[in-house]
Structure 1
Amino acid sequence: MSEHPATETSASQPAREIAVRASKVSMDFGNGVLAVDNASFELEKGRFLTILGPSGSGKTTLLRMIAGFQEQTSGEITIYGKPVHATPPHRRSIGMVFQKLALFPHMTAAENVAFPLRMRRFNPRSIPGRVEQFLELVKLQGYGNRRINELSGGQQQRVAIARALVFEPDLLLLDEPLAALDVKLREEMQLEFRRIQHELGVTTINVTHDQREALVVSDDVIVMDGGRIQQHARPVDLYREPANPFVAGFLGLSSSVEGTVTDGGELKAGDQLLKGAPVGDIPPGTPALAAIRAEQIRMGATQSALKACDVSLDGLVRDTIFEGERQMYVVEAKTLPGTVFHVYHHDPDSFDLFDVGASVAIGWNRRDMKIFRNSA
């Protein structure tokens, strides 16, 4: 039986055990701007949460408050029902991996992994076996006797992960640990994080500004901007159903059009009516901003080629960018001068279908263009 309190649920549903709860948490550093502003969320035991946002959004400050490194100005943070600062730092069952790994260069990989066990006074006879077990978990069996400077960047990353997990913490915190790696290694390590977390089931909170990382590794994602939580959802829901223009623009590549909402829930931009899906209740005449993702736009030589789309417009190719697995087109809508749409074209047999200056048609389905109230 778990030693942690479970959240009460109906008899027909399994209990949801809340590992981390933040309730109306704010952090004021005294400069007149809240680094974190009234943030609230819950994280169930065993899930992987990523806090995503641009630099200065408040994500690292929120993580530091969860870790107990900084005490919030207001609100409360609990881990398994206990306020963070009610537990002395050396008794908190929290593993951490930082961007700067803070490995001990004078120690071997095995000695680094063993360090938190010795600090927590584990049985000395059990330490070698446990260290070997976790080096194997991160695929570093046979590397235990190597010094840190004898390991590659990715291998050092794995040592840091093993060290953070070896004492089996209740919570693992990751502060942009992959930011310093090259793209290929970073993508490999993202999959490794996901594998290890699934294998151990450790509750994890990750902080990053890397959109792909957030979508790949996470069960849940929080998007932050200006110290506020903009949306908290599963990756697929966050991507497909953004709550506001910031989330729509921050995740993936989107094109936007400004206008006003009509009686029929369409966007009127200039003389053009664009069918879309309003997000929330937006009264007619309200200034609005519509956003659509590059992969949701279809492209053809003429509008007749896009009969399956709810909306089609004539356009002019302004630029083409080859991205390896796809071609990206920048298309200006002829009826919306100055408005450009980014379009991903994935067919490898026709990457060079349209040249710069070519007349084309673009189209999409109503549900794919999200219309938001424009608060700018």
Structure 2
Amino acid sequence: MKQGAPAGGSGSTDAGQGQVAVHARDLTMDFGGGSLAVDRASFDLEAGRFLTILGPSGSGKTTLLRMIAGFQKPSSGQITVGGHAVDAMPPHRRSVGMVFQRLALFPHMSAAQNVAFPLKMRRFDPRGIPGRVRDFLDLVKLGDYGERRINELSGGQQQRVAIARALVFEPELLLLDEPLAALDRKLREEMQLEFRRIQHELGVTTINVTHDQREALVVSDDIIVMDGGRIQQHARPTELYRAPENPFVAGFLGVSTFADGEATERGLRAGGLELSGLHAGAIATGAPVRGAIRAEQIRINAAPEALAGCDTVLPGRIRDVIFEGERLLYVAALDGLPEVEFRIYHHDPDAFDLYDIGAPVSIGWNARDMKIFKSTA
């Protein structure tokens, strides 16, 4: 079994560090109908890293994955895996393991027989197959379940069998096509951590597709956000979350409030109010812009003097209070800007139920926390 220890929290391994495992250039998929499913997608993925392709339904993420897997031939563009061009190579010739949302396990076989199947198809030495199957069942914590039939296993155990089957022949690349989408929330979160553990332990280069933003942030070394067939941003999770490059990325990751207005030297003007913010690139004063700020970056207090450290402090009123279990989410509007509803996470665990609907409050934030983008409308 390949071994690799994660370097710090990045999830990358010493083996192959810096080496490009997947190279995609200008990948395009045109199914007809006037729009492109994938539009000139380009990225590089270093060996040993875990990449998630994130986006809403119809964004092109699954089509991009299927082109890498070989299930769909690109209309144009180039793909190399491990330094070898695979554009014209059929799926079974690519050194790729895959786990699907529908696991496609064989119900008439035991867990061990399912894991052994790709080894037999690839004509591994029969004498070595049982030991290799045991090793990979142990890896996914199913060492005692090899003789059980698939219908005798729970949903999470079936997921582990599918992972072991995809990895047992030690592929160069592991592809995950929303394999956790059908699981309940608790099991899905457990399996996210399992994927991360296994990927760290083996150091296998991995590409995951999901629409679940939490999953992307938890498991990934790198994230690509897609929309409309195009890559909107490719970055590490912390950079993607803290420095989105456009309003779509800001809105798709986390809970954000958006305000449209005109650019000023120190932010934007909306509804006659001056809102401090940080311009994303060069923006001319007076240009139409959209400001975005995350719920956890806004402060709220009944007394404006309590927010004296904020760059912007304005009066408003609570419109709604949403209990989410581990936190409260306030919905508030500024006086003079009623059309914008600010979503604000609670920041004081010692005073959990602090403001009632209709209560007057002050709302504040720092300029660095509101990102201001050129308006595309």
**Normalised by the size of structure 1, how large is the TM-score?**
0.95
1:200-215 to structure 2, matched below 5 A, reads 200-215=202-217
How far off is 1:125 after superposition? 1.0
Q: SS at the partner of 1:281?
A: coil
Contact kept, 8 Å, 2:70 with 2:90, in 1: the verdict is: no
Residue 127 (structure 1) aligned to one of 123, 129, 133: 129
Q: What letter is aligned with 2:282? A: D
Q: SS at the partner of 2:73?
A: coil
Q: What letter is aligned with 2:256? A: S
How far off is 1:247 after superposition? 0.3
State how far apart, in whole Å, the 2-side matches of 1:317 and 1:179 are: 35
> Hey, what does 2:312 align to over in structure 1?
311
Q: Deviation digits for residues 121-162 of structure 1, max 9, x if unmatched?
A: 111111111111101100111000000000000000000000
Contact kept, 8 Å, 2:97 with 2:171, in 1: the verdict is: yes
> Hey, what does 2:262 align to over in structure 1?
260
Residue 166 (structure 2) aligned to one of 146, 149, 164: 164
Residue 189 (structure 2) aligned to one of 168, 187, 195: 187
How far off is 1:85 after superposition? 3.1
How far off is 1:109 after superposition? 0.2
State how far apart, in whole Å, the 1-side matches of 2:210 and 2:90 are: 27
Contact kept, 8 Å, 2:74 with 2:87, in 1: the verdict is: no
> Hey, what does 2:297 align to over in structure 1?
296
Once the two structures are overlaid, the 10-residue window that deviates more, 224-233 or 67-76, is 67-76
> Hey, what does 2:242 align to over in structure 1?
240
1:332-371 to structure 2, matched below 5 A, reads 332-371=333-372
Q: What letter is aligned with 1:237? A: E
State how far apart, in whole Å, the 2-side matches of 1:50 and 1:161 are: 17
How far off is 1:15 after superposition? 7.0
State how far apart, in whole Å, the 2-side matches of 1:23 and 1:339 are: 40
> Hey, what does 1:9 align to over in structure 2?
none
Contact kept, 8 Å, 2:17 with 2:46, in 1: the verdict is: no
> Hey, what does 2:280 align to over in structure 1?
279
State how far apart, in whole Å, the 1-side matches of 2:226 and 2:102 are: 23
State how far apart, in whole Å, the 2-side matches of 1:336 and 1:90 are: 58
How far off is 1:77 after superposition? 1.1
Contact kept, 8 Å, 2:31 with 2:37, in 1: the verdict is: yes
Q: SS at the partner of 2:104?
A: coil
> Hey, what does 1:5 align to over in structure 2?
none
Contact kept, 8 Å, 1:59 with 1:207, in 2: the verdict is: yes
Cα distance change, pair 15–197 in 1 and its aligned pair in 2 (3 A) = closer
> Hey, what does 1:222 align to over in structure 2?
224
Q: SS at the partner of 2:127?
A: coil
> Hey, what does 1:10 align to over in structure 2?
none
Once the two structures are overlaid, the 10-residue window that deviates more, 161-170 or 330-339, is 330-339
Q: SS at the partner of 2:126?
A: coil
Residue 114 (structure 2) aligned to one of 78, 94, 112: 112
Contact kept, 8 Å, 1:265 with 1:284, in 2: the verdict is: no
Contact kept, 8 Å, 2:70 with 2:89, in 1: the verdict is: no
Q: What letter is aligned with 2:154? A: S
> Hey, what does 2:13 align to over in structure 1?
none
Residue 60 (structure 2) aligned to one of 58, 61, 73: 58
Contact kept, 8 Å, 1:314 with 1:335, in 2: the verdict is: no
> Gapped runs of 5+ residues in structure 2?
1-15
Contact kept, 8 Å, 1:24 with 1:75, in 2: the verdict is: yes
State how far apart, in whole Å, the 1-side matches of 2:361 and 2:251 are: 25
Q: SS at the partner of 1:126?
A: helix
Q: Deviation digits for residues 52-94 of structure 1, max 9, x if unmatched?
A: 0000000000000000111111111111222213434322110
Q: What letter is aligned with 1:269? A: A
Cα distance change, pair 218–272 in 1 and its aligned pair in 2 (3 A) = same
Once the two structures are overlaid, the 10-residue window that deviates more, 203-212 or 299-308, is 299-308
Query: Quick check: 1:17 aligned with 2:38?
Result: no
Q: SS at the partner of 2:163?
A: helix
How far off is 1:346 after superposition? 3.8
State how far apart, in whole Å, the 2-side matches of 1:15 and 1:131 are: 28
Cα distance change, pair 370–340 in 1 and its aligned pair in 2 (3 A) = same
How far off is 1:265 after superposition? 3.8
Q: What letter is aligned with 1:352? A: D
Residue 44 (structure 1) aligned to one of 38, 42, 46: 46
Q: What letter is aligned with 2:33? A: N
> Gapped runs of 5+ residues in structure 1?
1-13
Contact kept, 8 Å, 2:17 with 2:47, in 1: the verdict is: no
Runs of 4 or more, structure 1, over 6 Å off, are: none
State how far apart, in whole Å, the 2-side matches of 1:361 and 1:86 are: 61
Q: What letter is aligned with 1:248? A: A
State how far apart, in whole Å, the 2-side matches of 1:88 and 1:258 are: 49
User: RMSD of aligned C-alpha atoms?
Assistant: 1.1
Q: Deviation digits for residues 291-328 of structure 1, max 9, x if unmatched?
A: 00000101111211101111111110000011111111
How far off is 1:237 after superposition? 0.2
Task: Report how many residues are paired.
Answer: 362
Q: What letter is aligned with 1:23? A: R
Once the two structures are overlaid, the 10-residue window that deviates more, 84-93 or 229-238, is 84-93
